[in-house]
Amino acid sequence: MDVALLISRWGLLAVLLGSLLEGETVLVLAGFAAHRGYLDFAQVVAVAWLGAVLGDQFWFWLGRRHGRTFLARWPKQTTAIRRALRLIERHPARSVLFMRFAWGLRIALPVAMGMSGLPHGRFLLLNGLSAMLWAPAIAGAGWLFGDVLVRHLGDLARVEHWAALALVLLVLAVHLVERRWARRRTARDADRD
């Protein structure tokens, strides 16, 4: 099967599904695919925006409706959500605007925001603005990666599959390191509590 055809056909769906969760890996790869001409960059950003807003609205609703039950069911998230609640109480607007860039708290923050007194309408507005910052920035990183490869490697068609693999491995490595740091922070915070 032709990889370009698969990306063209299913790429935006992958961006939507990836953006409903944390989505950076999928969005960076979609930005790279847009640079190579397999996807339209504006569509990638729009779909990522939609997925990010919908995903965080779900987590906010879950926190508002079932926050205490959520904590009881997933006790590992308790420390992260407590940290998120303290942050939200001090800086509510900034917390929403920059929540997508707070790795390790990406699900905990919207759940905590739902558990806080933050009004739903304000969260929706700030959530949309936050996604407007996040989607082009992360997709743009993938685009720039493709641009750097073209400048330094010339004919990218010969190595684009290897470049995509390298990008996936780099993003996965960053994600794994981030998760390790988040676990250490969670363990350290649990020791303090």
Specify which of 53-57, 94-98, 111-115, 176-180 reaches the highest per-range mean pLDDT: 53-57
pLDDT at residue 189 tops 70? no
pLDDT category at 83 given cuts 50, 70, 90 is: confident
More confident residue, 60 or 95: 60
* Spatial distance between the Cα atoms of 142 and 145, rounded to a whole number of angstroms: 5
Lowest mean pLDDT among 20-24, 26-30, 142-146: 20-24
Residues 35 and 160: beta-carbon distance below 8 Å: no
How many C-beta atoms lie closer than 10 Å to residue 193's C-beta? Answer: 7
Judge contact between 31 and 140, C-beta under 8 A.
yes
Phi-psi region of 142 (alpha: psi -120 to 50; beta: other; left: phi over 0): alpha
- Residue pointed to by tokens 């965080």: 56
> What would the mean pLDDT of 86-108 be, rounded to a whole number?
81
What pLDDT shows up at residue 167? 66
Looking up tokens 């996807």 gives 39
**pLDDT cut 90: percent of the chain above it:** 26
pLDDT class for 193, splitting at 50, 70, 90?
low
Residue 19 makes CB contacts below 8 A (sequence gap 6+) with: 26, 27, 47, 48, 49, 50, 51, 52, 55, 135
Residues 6 or more apart whose CB falls under 8 angstroms from that of 182 comprise 80, 103, 104, 105
Query: pLDDT-based confidence at 174, cuts 50/70/90?
Result: confident
Q: Average the pLDDT over 134-155 and give the result.
A: 81
